[in-house]
Chains A and B, each alone.
Chain A
Amino acid sequence: MSTQVHATVTEADVEQISAELGEPDWLTETRLEAFEALEALPMPSVIRTPGRDWTNLDALDYEELVDPLEWAEEKDRVEAEGVEVLSWAEALEDHGDLIEDHFGSVVDPQRDYLTALSTALFGAGTVVYVPEGVDAEDVKIRTTMNSRSLFNYTLVVAEKSSSVTILERQHTGEPVEGDQYYSGVVEVTAGENATVQYGALQNLAEDTYNFSIKRGHADTYGTINWIEGNLGSRLTKTSVETRLLGDGSESKIVGAFFGHDDQHFDLASRVWHEGEHTTADLVTRGVLDDTARSVYEGVQDVGEDAWDTNSYQRENTLMLSDDSEADASPKLIINNHDTEASHSATVGQVDQDDLFYMTSRGVDEESATNMLVEGFFVPVLEEVEVDELREDLDALVLERLGI
């Protein structure tokens, strides 16, 4: 597959993208190194069981999808007081050193083939810089994809004792003929006692292949909370990850998805407990209709030095259709015994007793089912502290239900 990419992407393209953003040499080098590494890098890992791959990434046809120089988007950035929300060109000019310190420090640019491709080719993106002590709410980044492929890179740096809430929405604008490819990398650094809440709502057109990696490092008493909503795209391969490096750090990963038609969602929530007294809570709920398929991997990894760890994970999937498939693998990797960890996962259909009760009260079956599906998402919606994101997510769920 890597040869395919080389057929459409050249080193000159990478250099041109870099030059257009007016990048310093170190970043151009990082891109070129990632580009060179492509050939040797594996695809992002997918779960395999005897005779089955849960997601087939090799079926992606990059020849068709990647058009590195012709990228177009609309970006709507809403700033909050005290926070800088910048394009890459602006950010590199104003905060060159800060970016050099943090770029690629959380997400390894050569983590896998698709991440390296994203690093080499990103043109779109945003840098959010929250200086020490600043409390900010409601930074909003809306990305409208208007081209065949779009590589987006978001870097969030929250300094000591700062806090910020960031909402990111991705959707498709002008229809583009044929399949599309969206690739997003999000790096978050939460400094000592800093809090970052990052909510993302992905509602790309359903002929879009979507790859995303979101990863954060939490320092002492730092908190990183993720909210991940997936409704759009044809195939999504995404991982949301937090390394709890500092003592007393915390992370919550809340996920919601609703697949229909032949959508395929491969979703992962992963947390590494590395400091002492850390806490993690992973909650995902999803609904599947038609022939949609979900693949979920949750990882709670407790390191040897992670004394006094608390780690919890819940995943629930509701299947509305007989032809959908839900695969799940919640994993516990525990290397310190001073741990309280649990996980649970369920898969099932709409509760028949509930349905019977409601139809016996005169609600028709379809409305009753819709209400139960909406209700199914409530425990996840309640975890979403940001009103706008909760309302948007709820609205998209209702839209999908045809209400």
Chain B
Amino acid sequence: MSSDNDLESTDTEARFEFKKEEKSAYEAEVGLTEETVRKISDDKDEPDWMLQRRLRALEQYKEMPMPTDWPGQPDLSEVNVDEIIPYIRPDIETRGGEDDWDDLPDEIQDTFDKLGIPEAEQQALSGVGAQYESEIVYQNMQEQWEEKGVVFMDMDKAVQEHPELVREHFMTKAVPPSDNKFAALHGAVWSGGSFVYIPEGVTVQMPIQAYFRMNSEGMGQFEHTLIIAEENSEVHYIEGCSAPQYARHNLHSGGVEVFVKEGAHVQYSTVQNWSKNTYNLNTKRAIAEADGRMEWISGSMGSKATMLYPSTILKGPGASDNHITIAFAGEGQDIDTGAKVYHNAPNTKSTIESKSIAKDGGRTNYRGLVHIANGAKGSQTNVECDALMFDNESTSDTMPYMEIQDNEVDVAHEATVGKIGDEDIFYLQSRGLDDDDAKQMIVAGFIEPITEELPIEYAVELNRLIELEMEGSLG
């Protein structure tokens, strides 16, 4: 990809850390009250059922305690939802996103230019959505897909234009607000995100991408992504996220729901590069029907603390799941991530591959659950976790959980932890590489078994981010 060269030449500060003046058309007050939730709903001109769902989620949010009893979980004591600005509508004219970058205000256009989104759109994507603060500001898809009935639109717009589909699928079956405190928070104040509908038998050949950007200090971003892939359809959705660094904490609490119908195939890839003052607490879940195939690819580089366990419920016989997780924790970062898979039908399969790297006092943890229900005969799961540690200040944990209720199954879990080998570094140095280059090469080799399975654009972006992380130039 030619933009790789651009990435090489673009300096990091310019690429992710730049800040734009905070300009907005509407900004909710700090904190979370019923009044705020009503105002958000009102500002979006939502139907009453959605307002009722928000209010109910708010009630559930208030009733639920903060998660504090998970073994070794990241410290969330500084997460103060009452100090977060839950909703900021940027100052643009068209709701639901412009379809021409030139129609966007200069500073927003410049933001996404720097992030390389318009260029990627031209070269390798079927469609792009771009969210700035709480709203989608740009939304476009190639005409050929529109003609085939593919829908890719701003989630808020979908509430208005596809009420039946949204009402049936939105935070009902996959991620109900009762799932956890942050899912409930999300249900109350969600804004923006993508709605993707792929009709039966349609294969969207190039990926569609959404990019989420937080610009303001102390804000919370709560975008919701709903993907419905009808029978025998296929789509690859990529999301990217970033924010500049501020003194005050930002909160990102996205919700992702994916419905993989019979024989459909959905690939969901995330490059998460939030600034290191961001708490990243997401709930992502897919339900796969018979012979459906779900793939989660997650690269977690940014954030102060991440708690993210994309999950798949293998509901129909023959459904399969594939998780690829890469976590990189540097100074001050606590990346607690993994996977959850429920095998609820016969002959379902899952594979989980996790690679984590801890450096400069960072902590990574693989936390995962595989559940095989009684009756899920012939199911197979294979979990592999490898961790690499750079130094003695860092921490690397592995906490898998397996619940096996059927005997006709094949369950295997493996994990290794090791340090960067002095001998390997010595060897590379003796061949003329300096210490940093040697380490970089070893890390690239460590994650290669995973990167070689990734789509090329994703692998390039990920490698670049890891290089930046290795140089210590991010955050």
Judged by a CB distance under 8 angstroms, whether A346 is at the interface is: yes
Complex Cα spacing A20 to B252, Å: 64
B417→A341 contact, CB < 8 A:
yes
B407→A324 contact, CB < 8 A:
yes
With A328-B402, A331-B397, A336-B392 as known contacts, state yes or no: A346 contacts B415, CB within 8 Å: no
Judged by a CB distance under 8 angstroms, whether A340 is at the interface is: yes
> Which stretch, B8-16, B156-164, B269-277, B383-391, touches the partner chain A?
B383-391
Complex Cα spacing A347 to B401, Å: 12
B397→A49 contact, CB < 8 A:
no
A344→B415 contact, CB < 8 A:
yes
Q: When the two chains form the complex, which single residue of A324, A329, A349 contacts B399, counting CB atoms closer than 8 Å?
A: A329
Judged by a CB distance under 8 angstroms, whether A72 is at the interface is: no
Which residues A295-328 have CB closer than 8 A to chain B?
A: 304, 317, 319-328
Interface of B is mostly: strand
With A304-B392, A338-B419 as known contacts, state yes or no: A332 contacts B401, CB within 8 Å: no
For residue A337, which residues in chain B have a CB less than 8 angstroms away from its CB? 358, 389-392, 394, 396, 419-420
Complex Cα spacing A80 to B162, Å: 82
Return the CB mask of B367-391 against A: 1 if under 8 Å, else 0.
Answer: 0010100100000000000010111
Judged by a CB distance under 8 angstroms, whether A333 is at the interface is: yes
User: In this complex, what residue of A is CB-closest to B180?
Assistant: A50
Judged by a CB distance under 8 angstroms, whether B411 is at the interface is: yes
Q: When the two chains form the complex, which single residue of A319, A324, A327, A333 contacts B401, counting CB atoms closer than 8 Å?
A: A327
Return the CB mask of A51-75 against B: 1 if under 8 Å, else 0.
Answer: 0100000000000000000000000
User: In this complex, what residue of B is CB-closest to A345?
Assistant: B413
B394→A344 contact, CB < 8 A:
no
With A323-B374, A343-B398, A349-B409 as known contacts, state yes or no: A332 contacts B415, CB within 8 Å: yes
Judged by a CB distance under 8 angstroms, whether B408 is at the interface is: yes
Judged by a CB distance under 8 angstroms, whether A334 is at the interface is: yes
Complex Cα spacing A49 to B311, Å: 14
B400→A320 contact, CB < 8 A:
no
For residue A341, which residues in chain B have a CB less than 8 angstroms away from its CB? 416-418
User: In this complex, what residue of A is CB-closest to B420?
Assistant: A337
With A327-B401, A332-B396, A335-B395 as known contacts, state yes or no: A322 contacts B407, CB within 8 Å: yes
Judged by a CB distance under 8 angstroms, whether B410 is at the interface is: yes
Interface of A is mostly: strand
For residue A304, which residues in chain B have a CB less than 8 angstroms away from its CB? 392
User: In this complex, what residue of A is CB-closest to B394?
Assistant: A337
Complex Cα spacing A338 to B417, Å: 10
Judged by a CB distance under 8 angstroms, whether B102 is at the interface is: no
For residue A320, which residues in chain B have a CB less than 8 angstroms away from its CB? 407
For residue B374, which residues in chain A have a CB less than 8 angstroms away from its CB? 322-323, 325
For residue B390, which residues in chain A have a CB less than 8 angstroms away from its CB? 337
Q: When the two chains form the complex, which single residue of B401, B405, B406, B418 contacts A340, counting CB atoms closer than 8 Å?
A: B418
Tell me how many residues of A have a C-beta within 8 Å of chain B.
38
Judged by a CB distance under 8 angstroms, whether B106 is at the interface is: no
Judged by a CB distance under 8 angstroms, whether B414 is at the interface is: yes
User: In this complex, what residue of B is CB-closest to A312?
Assistant: B416
Complex Cα spacing A110 to B414, Å: 35
For residue A335, which residues in chain B have a CB less than 8 angstroms away from its CB? 392, 395
User: In this complex, what residue of A is CB-closest to B381?
Assistant: A347
Q: When the two chains form the complex, which single residue of A49, A322, A334, A343 contacts B403, counting CB atoms closer than 8 Å?
A: A49
Judged by a CB distance under 8 angstroms, whether B76 is at the interface is: no
User: In this complex, what residue of A is CB-closest to B386?
Assistant: A342
With A332-B417, A347-B411, A349-B409 as known contacts, state yes or no: A327 contacts B404, CB within 8 Å: yes
Q: When the two chains form the complex, which single residue of B358, B391, B398 contacts A332, counting CB atoms closer than 8 Å?
A: B398
Judged by a CB distance under 8 angstroms, whether B72 is at the interface is: yes
Judged by a CB distance under 8 angstroms, whether A348 is at the interface is: yes
For residue A348, which residues in chain B have a CB less than 8 angstroms away from its CB? 407, 409-411
With A323-B374, A344-B414, A346-B413 as known contacts, state yes or no: A331 contacts B408, CB within 8 Å: no
B396→A334 contact, CB < 8 A:
yes
Judged by a CB distance under 8 angstroms, whether B456 is at the interface is: no
Complex Cα spacing A346 to B396, Å: 22
For residue A333, which residues in chain B have a CB less than 8 angstroms away from its CB? 72, 395, 397
A346→B412 contact, CB < 8 A:
yes
User: In this complex, what residue of A is CB-closest to B410?
Assistant: A348
Smallest distance from the beta carbon of A331 to chain B beta carbons, Å? 5
Q: When the two chains form the complex, which single residue of B389, B407, B418 contacts A349, counting CB atoms closer than 8 Å?
A: B407
For residue A370, which residues in chain B have a CB less than 8 angstroms away from its CB? none
Complex Cα spacing A120 to B41, Å: 60
Complex Cα spacing A324 to B412, Å: 18
B412→A338 contact, CB < 8 A:
no
Q: Can you list 8 pairs linking A and B with CB atoms under 8 Å apart?
A: A50-B369, A329-B402, A330-B400, A332-B399, A333-B395, A343-B414, A346-B412, A348-B407
Binding site for A on B (CB under 8 A): 69, 71-72, 358, 369, 371, 374, 387, 389-392, 394-420
